[in-house]
Structure 1
Amino acid sequence: MAANEPAPFSTEWTSALIEHAQGVLIEARNAFITPEIGLQAVVIALAFGASWLLRAPVRTAFERAFGWQFMSRVNSTARDLVLSLILPVIAFLVLTLTRIGFDQAGLGSFAINLAASLTGAWVLIRILTAFIAEPFWSRTAATLIWFVAALNIVGLLGPLTGLLASVGFDVGESRISLLTVVRAAILLAVLYWVASRISKLLAARVEQVPTLTPSARLLITKSVQISLLVVVVAAALSIAGVDLSALAIFSGAVGLGIGFGLQKIFSNLISGLILLMDRSVKPGDVITLEETYGRVNALGMRFASVVTRDGLEHLIPNEEFITTKVINWSFSDEAVRIKKPVGVAYGTDVPHAMKVIVDAANSVERVLEKPETRCLLRGFGDNSIDLEVRFWIADPQQGVNNVSSDVLLAIWKAFEAEGIQFPFPQRDVHIDMREALRVRVENPD
């Protein structure tokens, strides 16, 4: 910016804006604060009061009508829409009849006509937005469209757009104004809703393809969502009149912000894509990550949902699956081997005890016959002969600790039946008898 050019938000610009707003207020006061407008305001209030009184009986009549046999085909959404529009429709009809009466009497009806137009616009917009299933988007769209329609009806849409267009700054050969920002935001919201509906429809179609694995389905769905999001943002900016090439000057700052402020977010996004492509972790797998053991319920672009045996749902960032050691109990084969130590007392018939342990483990329902259960002699401890039982299960998603408990309980019962003793800690105390043992008794009193 040259030194002789005024700043976009200078004092002169602010003073001009204030003077313009004051002029608009003076004109509005002179136009609306009159006895004729006051009379119409009272009539409008009475019309809405009468509509409120008529609302209850009309609603009751419609509810009874919906109970008739031939009206049973009407779904609940349409019924709720009709019942919610009873008050504004009655108000629109009453205001319209009132306006006709004022016109026939030769009285001014500007305010009444304005109120009727706004009420009718709200009814029409509410009907059109009823096709939007999401309540948030439906209410937002209805409010926004009605606001624009109201400005257009009262004749303020043109001045407001001109005012918004005058506030902005130049970027290269393009100009970014408040009007551009508002227009881009509205277009972005509309296109985002359309893209979300398209992505849901495509996701439903992809889920119906039997030849695709769950990871492939999720990868396709997420790729489509990201692609649609990029297209939506670019289309919204382009339709709003923003020259996309002019945004290149911000690429360095945006890249720096991504490198520092959004580093973790993009790291999780890239990690999520890697997990979907290499299928190292996929929905349905049973994994152990540090202290978390559970089943992968869903994979998102930022985190994975892991449900533990306690019913707790852990949302683990995707980056943890890339940088941390993960035990996937069902990566290539759902059959897993579990090892549990068992100690027996010295003097035990070890081969017999090993056979008892194997038979006891095989008596548990979830233990597989193939591969075979084995019992190994691992060493000679201070107080016990250390054995280890190794058995296989094919359903780790049903839990590992519970089947281990069942196996150890079966071994306990088998040892009791066979008279095999579990070891207990033993300590030998040696007293040096080369000197007399001195004993001292102290009286606590």
Structure 2
Amino acid sequence: MDMDLNDFLSALQTAARSVGAEVTSPWFYLQLGLVMAGAGIAFASSAAIRARVDMTSLAMGWPGPLRQLLRVLVDSVANVVFIVLMRIARTAMVLWTWPSRSYLLAVALKLALAWLVIRLITSVIRNTFIVRVVSISAWLVAALSIIGELDPVLDALDSVSVVLGGLRLTPLLVIKLCVLLVAALWLTNIASNFVEGRITRSTDLTPSIQVLLIKMVRMGLMILAITIALSAVGINLSALAIFSGAAGVGIGFGLQKIVANFISGIILLADKSVKPGDLVTIGDSSGRISAMNTRYISVSAGDGREFLIPNEDLVTQKVTNWTYTDKNTLVKVNFGTNYDADPRLVCKLAKEIAGHTARTMKSKPPNCLLTEFTEAGMKFSLTCWIGDPSDMDSVKSEVMLSLWEAFKREGIRVPYPVREIRVRGGALPVETTVEVPT
């Protein structure tokens, strides 16, 4: 390791002497002036061109990838102009003097060209942060290669190491692993999205099976990508066995809830007890399942709220699934009348109203029963069937409004308590009686 560090320091001294000799030459300042002038002209030209180019009208009707490529080219106008100017200046310097006297122009030209190529290649990536990281990293590697310092830097990064068991970790190894992981996971995401689209369009699979297959494919591709990346950098997977015990302890104690929710999610997808689109009631939360994720399900209440319920709760608690085997739902309306009403007429009116109400099922006729005689009057129970449980409240309200109109029309009264307060002789004791008209 000491020998590698000495070689690195020696290389730095040699590079410093070379740079010092270059800086003392008058040709260096001429090239530097040309580079700065070219950069100024390039930025001015870019501002003028971009002010006159309307991207919306120019790329209208173009495919998405071509529009993205055109946008990158317009954003890189300054770079293109700088490359052209540096190429002209470099050619002129080579023709008029020694090629070594235009070395700085050649380096500036290659660096600008490398940045343009990298920006065009990374234009296919949608994530802005990843584009920035990949572009800067790739350009730094290209810059070190252009100035001839890539191999010394790689050797220096590989000279420092930490040995853990049978695994030798170096900065170079970590950088390679990160680059390969990013590339592998990006390709995995593309493949997963493609497979997800094919599975979603399949009409032979139920929604729960589709979600289960999509999650299994994503997880399998992710594990495969990580395995390939580790093997590509030369890491023997058996060398990571030292970390398996710590990972097991972490899963057993710190991650037990996450693992429980993950396993519960797989069980829910496999047994089809709930699926996206079902109307469910879990505790005090009711709504339609909008998504099933690895850790939780999302239940939309219909009023803008989303309940995120852990998968473990669906396995261990009571769940009411209104659409498990059948979407048909029984709607029950309880009401009462006074004793002056004809109970047979009341039942007939209630059944006719429920039968003519929209969204009630005609194949299952409604029914009305006299359930109880009370002090306040007679109690009735009207039942009817609907095809969608989400309409339960609105259908019930519509039936009750129609009942009220029919009772007003037929002179049928609904019992309600009447309270009369009597005060005798201005004294404090108060006698309260309750009369209920019949």
Relative to the length of structure 1, the TM-score reads 0.83
Query: What is the CA-CA distance between 1:307 and the residue it aligns to?
Result: 2.5
Q: In structure 1, how many angstroms separate the alpha carbons of the residues matched to 2:92 and 2:168? A: 50
CA-to-aligned-CA distance 1:136-161 (integer Å, 9 cap, x gap): 54444333222221222233333333
Alpha carbons of 1:355 and 1:63: their partners in 2 closer, same or farther (altered >3 Å)?
A: closer
Return 221-230 or 30-39, whichever deviates more: 30-39
Structure 2 counterpart of 1:271: 264
Q: In structure 1, how many angstroms separate the alpha carbons of the residues matched to 2:29 and 2:306? A: 61
How do 1:44-443 residues align onto structure 2 when only pairs under 5 Å count? 44-56=35-47, 75-103=66-94, 104-106=96-98, 108-381=101-374, 383-397=376-390, 399-426=391-418, 440=427
CA-to-aligned-CA distance 1:295-327 (integer Å, 9 cap, x gap): 222222233233232243443332332233222
Alpha carbons of 1:32 and 1:304: their partners in 2 closer, same or farther (altered >3 Å)?
A: farther
Structure 1 counterpart of 2:431: none
Return 21-30 or 159-168, whichever deviates more: 21-30
Alpha carbons of 1:85 and 1:368: their partners in 2 closer, same or farther (altered >3 Å)?
A: same
- Partner of 1:109, secondary structure, is helix
Root-mean-square deviation (CA, aligned residues, Å) is 3.6
Alpha carbons of 1:63 and 1:360: their partners in 2 closer, same or farther (altered >3 Å)?
A: closer
Tell me the amino acid that sits aligned with residue 169 of structure 1: V
Q: In structure 1, how many angstroms separate the alpha carbons of the residues matched to 2:408 and 2:53? A: 77
Q: In structure 2, how many angstroms separate the alpha carbons of the residues matched to 1:26 and 1:194? A: 41
Q: In structure 2, how many angstroms separate the alpha carbons of the residues matched to 1:215 and 1:345? A: 51
Query: What is the CA-CA distance between 1:197 and the residue it aligns to?
Result: 0.9
Alpha carbons of 1:381 and 1:265: their partners in 2 closer, same or farther (altered >3 Å)?
A: farther
Alpha carbons of 1:162 and 1:334: their partners in 2 closer, same or farther (altered >3 Å)?
A: same
Q: In structure 2, how many angstroms separate the alpha carbons of the residues matched to 1:17 and 1:382? A: 105
Q: In structure 2, how many angstroms separate the alpha carbons of the residues matched to 1:440 and 1:378? A: 44
Alpha carbons of 1:424 and 1:22: their partners in 2 closer, same or farther (altered >3 Å)?
A: farther
Tell me the amino acid that sits aligned with residue 402 of structure 2: A
Q: In structure 2, how many angstroms separate the alpha carbons of the residues matched to 1:21 and 1:323? A: 66
Tell me the amino acid that sits aligned with residue 80 of structure 2: V
Where does structure 1 lack aligned partners over 5 or more consecutive residues? 1-7, 432-436
The answer on whether the counterparts of 2:200 and 2:210 sit within 8 Å (CA) in structure 1 is yes
The answer on whether the counterparts of 2:69 and 2:120 sit within 8 Å (CA) in structure 1 is no
Query: What is the CA-CA distance between 1:130 and the residue it aligns to?
Result: 2.8
The answer on whether the counterparts of 1:180 and 1:242 sit within 8 Å (CA) in structure 2 is no
Alpha carbons of 1:279 and 1:63: their partners in 2 closer, same or farther (altered >3 Å)?
A: same
Where does structure 2 lack aligned partners over 5 or more consecutive residues? 429-438
- Partner of 1:377, secondary structure, is strand
Q: In structure 1, how many angstroms separate the alpha carbons of the residues matched to 2:426 and 2:120? A: 101
Alpha carbons of 1:374 and 1:61: their partners in 2 closer, same or farther (altered >3 Å)?
A: closer
Alpha carbons of 1:363 and 1:67: their partners in 2 closer, same or farther (altered >3 Å)?
A: closer
Alpha carbons of 1:414 and 1:213: their partners in 2 closer, same or farther (altered >3 Å)?
A: same
Query: What is the CA-CA distance between 1:25 and the residue it aligns to?
Result: 9.7
Alpha carbons of 1:29 and 1:268: their partners in 2 closer, same or farther (altered >3 Å)?
A: farther
CA-to-aligned-CA distance 1:222-274 (integer Å, 9 cap, x gap): 11111001111111112122221111111111112122332332222222212
Alpha carbons of 1:157 and 1:275: their partners in 2 closer, same or farther (altered >3 Å)?
A: same
Q: In structure 1, how many angstroms separate the alpha carbons of the residues matched to 2:415 and 2:10? A: 95
Alpha carbons of 1:403 and 1:35: their partners in 2 closer, same or farther (altered >3 Å)?
A: farther
Q: In structure 2, how many angstroms separate the alpha carbons of the residues matched to 1:426 and 1:357? A: 26
Query: What is the CA-CA distance between 1:284 and the residue it aligns to?
Result: 1.8
Alpha carbons of 1:429 and 1:28: their partners in 2 closer, same or farther (altered >3 Å)?
A: farther
The answer on whether the counterparts of 2:332 and 2:381 sit within 8 Å (CA) in structure 1 is yes
The answer on whether the counterparts of 2:11 and 2:152 sit within 8 Å (CA) in structure 1 is no
Q: In structure 2, how many angstroms separate the alpha carbons of the residues matched to 1:32 and 1:229? A: 50
Alpha carbons of 1:41 and 1:426: their partners in 2 closer, same or farther (altered >3 Å)?
A: same
Q: In structure 2, how many angstroms separate the alpha carbons of the residues matched to 1:186 and 1:88? A: 26
- Partner of 2:169, secondary structure, is strand
Tell me the amino acid that sits aligned with residue 47 of structure 1: G
- Partner of 1:229, secondary structure, is helix
- Residue-pair matches, total: 422
The answer on whether the counterparts of 1:306 and 1:313 sit within 8 Å (CA) in structure 2 is yes
The answer on whether the counterparts of 1:383 and 1:426 sit within 8 Å (CA) in structure 2 is no
Alpha carbons of 1:212 and 1:154: their partners in 2 closer, same or farther (altered >3 Å)?
A: same
CA-to-aligned-CA distance 1:23-51 (integer Å, 9 cap, x gap): 69966874675464444333211111111
Alpha carbons of 1:140 and 1:101: their partners in 2 closer, same or farther (altered >3 Å)?
A: same
- Partner of 1:242, secondary structure, is coil
The answer on whether the counterparts of 2:360 and 2:384 sit within 8 Å (CA) in structure 1 is yes
Alpha carbons of 1:102 and 1:409: their partners in 2 closer, same or farther (altered >3 Å)?
A: same
Query: What is the CA-CA distance between 1:124 and the residue it aligns to?
Result: 1.4
Structure 2 counterpart of 1:3: none
Query: What is the CA-CA distance between 1:438 and the residue it aligns to?
Result: 7.6
Tell me the amino acid that sits aligned with residue 89 of structure 2: T
State percent identity of aligned pairs: 33
Tell me the amino acid that sits aligned with residue 87 of structure 1: A
- Partner of 2:101, secondary structure, is coil
- Partner of 2:360, secondary structure, is coil
Relative to the length of structure 2, the TM-score reads 0.84
Q: In structure 2, how many angstroms separate the alpha carbons of the residues matched to 1:224 and 1:21? A: 49
Return 36-45 or 325-334, whichever deviates more: 36-45
Q: In structure 1, how many angstroms separate the alpha carbons of the residues matched to 2:29 and 2:338? A: 103
The answer on whether the counterparts of 1:304 and 1:317 sit within 8 Å (CA) in structure 2 is yes
The answer on whether the counterparts of 2:295 and 2:311 sit within 8 Å (CA) in structure 1 is yes
The answer on whether the counterparts of 2:118 and 2:138 sit within 8 Å (CA) in structure 1 is yes
Q: In structure 1, how many angstroms separate the alpha carbons of the residues matched to 2:62 and 2:170? A: 52
CA-to-aligned-CA distance 1:165-200 (integer Å, 9 cap, x gap): 233321333212222222111111100111111111
Tell me the amino acid that sits aligned with residue 290 of structure 1: G
Structure 2 counterpart of 1:4: none
Query: What is the CA-CA distance between 1:21 and the residue it aligns to?
Result: 11
The answer on whether the counterparts of 1:47 and 1:94 sit within 8 Å (CA) in structure 2 is yes
